[in-house]
Structure 1
Amino acid sequence: MIRLYGQAFEFEKREEIKNNRISDEAIELEQIKEDFNLCMNNWFSKSKKLEPVIDLYLTINYHRTSLERHFLNLVQALEAYHRLTKINHVLPKKEHTARIQSIVSSLPEEHQKWVKDSLAFSNEPRLHDRMEELLTPAVKTKSPDFEAKYYHLFRLPNKEKIDIIRDIKNTRNYNTHFDEKLLRKSLKGEELFQLVLLLKAMIEFYLLTELEIDEEIVLNSTWDKVNRIDTRNSIIEATRSSNVSMW
C-alpha cells in the first residue's frame, strides 16, 4: 500500500497547483516523466539500503534544530552514503591484516592487545578521504562543458577543495568532541550556513544520481544550487563594503 501525504487541490485550478511548490524543489516531475518508471524502480530497490542516508538528509527539512546539528547530520549522511556505495577499505584485506600483524608483533606483549584494538578500523577511509572522493564526482558524459561543471561543481567562494575538507573536519571534530583547541578553526555563522548549503546540495546530487535521473538534469540543478551560494556570498560582501544592512 502506498500512502500519499499532501495538500488537496481541485484539478481544474491548475494555477493553484502551479503556485504551490516547495521552495527548494530539486527536480520537477515534468523533467523526469520519460524516466519515471526507472526512477521509481530505483527508489524501491535502493531506498532500504540508503535509508540511513535518507533519514539523516530529511532532518534538514523537518527537524528544527541548531545549524551545528544540521551540519553534523549532513556530514554523517555523506559518510554513510560513501560507506554504502563506495569502496570501504584502503588496502586489500590480506595486505592490511599482514600490516597489522607486523606492527603488533614488534611490540611488547603487554601493549599488543591495546594497539590491535586501536587499529581495528584503521583500514577504513578517513573522513578526509571520503570527502575528497565525494567532492570530486565522476564524469559520466565526456564533453568539455560537462567536465568543466563537474570539476567546479562542489566549491565555495574563495575556497579550494582542500580548504573545504579542512573546514568540514575541524568543524565536525569540534562539534563532536568540543576540544577548545579546535574552536577557532571551526566554522560558525554565515560560513557554516554556506557549508551546510553545499553539503545539502552534495547529498541531493548523489541521491538523485542513484535514481538514474538524466545526468544533465541533475548536473544543471546542482550547478544552480551551488551558484546560489556564490550569489549569496557576493550580495553579503557587497552590503558589507557599502555598509548597507541586509535586514
Structure 2
Amino acid sequence: MRIEEEYKKTGYFWLPEKEDNKIPGVLTIDDGGRIELEIVGHFDESVDFLNDNEDLSRIIGHVEKDGLVTLDNCFYTKKNFSFGGISKSKILVHKVLSGAAWDKDEVVSFNTFSFSVDCLDEWVGISGINVDNDRESRTATINYNPPEKISLLLDNGMKLEICFSYTLPGLTNITEAKITQRAYFRLESEGLLDLSDFTVVAFKITNLMCFAMDEIVAMKNVSATSYELKRDGEKYPASISVYYQSKPFVEKLPKKNWHDMLFNFGAIKSNAQQVFNNWINAYKYLSPALGLYFSTKSGAQKYLEGKFLSLAQGLETYHRRTSSETLMELDSFELLVKEILKSCPDKNVDWLKGRLMHGNEINLRKRLKRIIEPFKDHLGTSRERSKLLKKIVDTRNYLTHYSESLKGDSAKGRELWVLCQKMEVIFNLHFLKVVGFDDEEISGVVRNCYPLKRKLQEI
C-alpha cells in the first residue's frame, strides 16, 4: 500500500474494555503499509508483566486529527520494563481502521470498499475537464462535467465501479482556479462482508492493473463503509480509512503513459465486465502461475537466475493448470505400469512405484512447445523457436541440478536476461488470451505496445 503523505500521529491507546488504562503513544504507517505503535510502558500493569500471553488482538486509540482508530492483529516486537524510569515498547500492527472503534470480539464488516492504484488515471483515460483557449482574444474557458461512473457486475456477487472524485476552485481565490479529478475503484456488496472478502478481490484487481500497465503499481487511498456504521447526526455511512501492508508494492513511484501499457481501459471498454471477471476467475486455477509471474515483476527475485527459474516454473505450472495432456491414454499407462510392476522384485516395488508416479507426464520441452504454439507467429522462425526452447530447457536443468554436462549449454549474462524477456512475453500473450483478447486483438497489442515489441526484438 502506498502512503503518499507521512503518517505519524500521537494519541492515547488502550485495550478494549480497559479504557481506564490509556497509554500515550505514536502510531506510524510507513510507505508500503508497515504499521508500528510505540507506547510508553506496556498495557499489562500487573505483577505478572513478564508473561507473553497478553492479548493484543485488538487495540483502540484516539489520535490527532483522525480521532478513533482500531488496531487489529498486534504483537510486541519490543517490550521494555522500567523500575522508576521511562521505558518504551514497540508493537507491530497488521491493520488500522481509522474513524471508529470496535469492541474486543466485535466483527468488522463492510458493504463497500474503495481504493485507487498508481497510474489509474492514465489507464482509465477519461476526463471531464475541457479547456478552450482563444489566443486572439487572450481568453480561456475551462469546463468540467464529472464523468459518469462505470458499473460492472462481478461473478462473485459484488459490483465493481470505476468512479471519479474531483475538487473545484474556491470562490474567494482570484489568482488561481484549479480543478482536479482522480479515478478510483469501488467494490460494493448488498450484504455486509468481512474486510478480507474485499481485500482479496482488490488484490486481484491490482494485479490486473500491474499486468495491463506492464508495471508494478500499488494500492492507495483505501476506505470502506458500512450501512450500519454512521456518525452521530449524519445521514450517510461513515468512511473508514483502511491501512495494511498490501501487495504488490515497490518503493519507486511508477510513471506510465497509455502507449507504454499492454492495454488501457479504452481497449476493453466494450467488454470490460467480462475482462475483469475472466481475470478474477482465473485465480481459481492459475493462482500459482500468476504468483510466480508477479514475483519476478515485483523484485522478489533479487538475482537473474532466480527470476529465470520462477518464470520457467511459472510457465510449466501454467501448462499443467490449463492442459491435461499426457504421454499416453490413462488406461494404457495404468496397464503398462501394472505389467512393469509384475516383473519387479518385491523389495523394489515401492521404489519403482515412486519412479513411475509421474511417468505419464510430458516433459518441460513439450510443455513449452505447446505454450508457444498459439503465438508462434510472434516468436520468430521455426529455427529460432527451437533454439529458444532448447536454451530454456538446458538452462532450467542446469540451474536446478548444476550438472557439469549442461554448464556450457546454459544461458548466462545478457543471454539469460534476454531469455527472461522472451518468457515474460509468452506469459503476457497467454494472459491476454485469459482475459478475453482474440488473436486479432493480441496482434494489435504486439504491433502497438512498445515495451512488448522491444522484448520480442531482443537478441
Which bracket does the TM-score occupy, shorter chain normalised?
0.7 to 0.9
Alignment of 1:106-185 (within 5 A): 106-137=343-374, 150-155=375-380, 159-185=383-409
Which has the bigger relative contact order, CA under 8 A and spacing at least 6?
1
| Structure 1 residues 2 and 209: alpha-carbon distance in aligned structure 2, compared to 1, 3 A threshold | farther
Q: Corresponding residue for 2:270?
A: 34
Structure index of larger Rg = 2
Do structure 1's residue 21 and structure 2's residue 256 form an aligned pair? Answer: yes
TM-superposed CA distance for 1:27, in Å, is 1.4
CA distance in 1, matches of 2:384, 2:367: 16
TM-superposed CA distance for 1:177, in Å, is 1.5
Q: Corresponding residue for 1:188?
A: 412
Alignment of 1:1-247 (within 5 A): 1=113, 3-6=115-118, 12=129, 20-21=255-256, 25-63=261-299, 64-137=301-374, 150-155=375-380, 159-222=383-446, 227-229=453-455, 231-233=457-459
TM-superposed CA distance for 1:75, in Å, is 0.9
- Name the SS of the counterpart of 2:358 in structure 1: coil
Higher helix share: 1
Q: Corresponding residue for 1:147?
A: none
TM-superposed CA distance for 1:221, in Å, is 2.2
TM-superposed CA distance for 1:231, in Å, is 4.0
- Name the SS of the counterpart of 2:410 in structure 1: coil
CA distance in 1, matches of 2:329, 2:423: 30
Q: Corresponding residue for 1:142?
A: none
TM-superposed CA distance for 1:56, in Å, is 0.9
- Name the SS of the counterpart of 1:47 in structure 2: helix
Q: Mind listing any 5+ residue stretches in structure 2 that lack a counterpart?
A: 1-112, 130-178, 184-253
Write out per-residue CA displacement over residues 167-202 of structure 1, whole angstroms, 9 at most, x where no aligned residue: 111100111112222211100112111111110000
Say whether the 8 Å CA contact 1:171–1:187 is kept in structure 2: yes
- Name the SS of the counterpart of 1:136 in structure 2: helix
What is the letter of the counterpart of residue 454 of structure 2? R
TM-superposed CA distance for 1:48, in Å, is 2.9
What is the letter of the counterpart of residue 84 of structure 1? R
What is the letter of the counterpart of residue 359 of structure 2? S
What is the letter of the counterpart of residue 389 of structure 2? I
TM-superposed CA distance for 1:60, in Å, is 2.2
| Structure 1 residues 179 and 41: alpha-carbon distance in aligned structure 2, compared to 1, 3 A threshold | same
CA distance in 2, matches of 1:56, 1:84: 13
CA distance in 2, matches of 1:37, 1:114: 51
| Structure 1 residues 230 and 83: alpha-carbon distance in aligned structure 2, compared to 1, 3 A threshold | closer
CA distance in 1, matches of 2:119, 2:442: 27
Using structure 2 for the length normalisation, give the TM-score: 0.43
CA distance in 1, matches of 2:281, 2:260: 26
Q: Mind listing any 5+ residue stretches in structure 1 that lack a counterpart?
A: 138-149, 234-247
- Name the SS of the counterpart of 2:117 in structure 1: coil
CA distance in 2, matches of 1:85, 1:124: 14
What is the letter of the counterpart of residue 307 of structure 2? H
Write out per-residue CA displacement over residues 101-160 of structure 1, whole angstroms, 9 at most, x where no aligned residue: 1122123333232112111011112111101101111xxxxxxxxxxxx4432238x953
What is the letter of the counterpart of residue 337 of structure 2? I
Say whether the 8 Å CA contact 2:398–2:406 is kept in structure 1: yes
CA distance in 2, matches of 1:229, 1:184: 25
| Structure 1 residues 128 and 9: alpha-carbon distance in aligned structure 2, compared to 1, 3 A threshold | closer
CA distance in 1, matches of 2:386, 2:119: 44
* Structural RMSD (CA): 3.0
TM-superposed CA distance for 1:229, in Å, is 4.0
- Name the SS of the counterpart of 1:68 in structure 2: helix
What is the letter of the counterpart of residue 352 of structure 2? V
| Structure 1 residues 212 and 231: alpha-carbon distance in aligned structure 2, compared to 1, 3 A threshold | closer
Higher strand share: 2
What is the letter of the counterpart of residue 294 of structure 2? L
CA distance in 2, matches of 1:163, 1:83: 23
| Structure 1 residues 195 and 7: alpha-carbon distance in aligned structure 2, compared to 1, 3 A threshold | closer
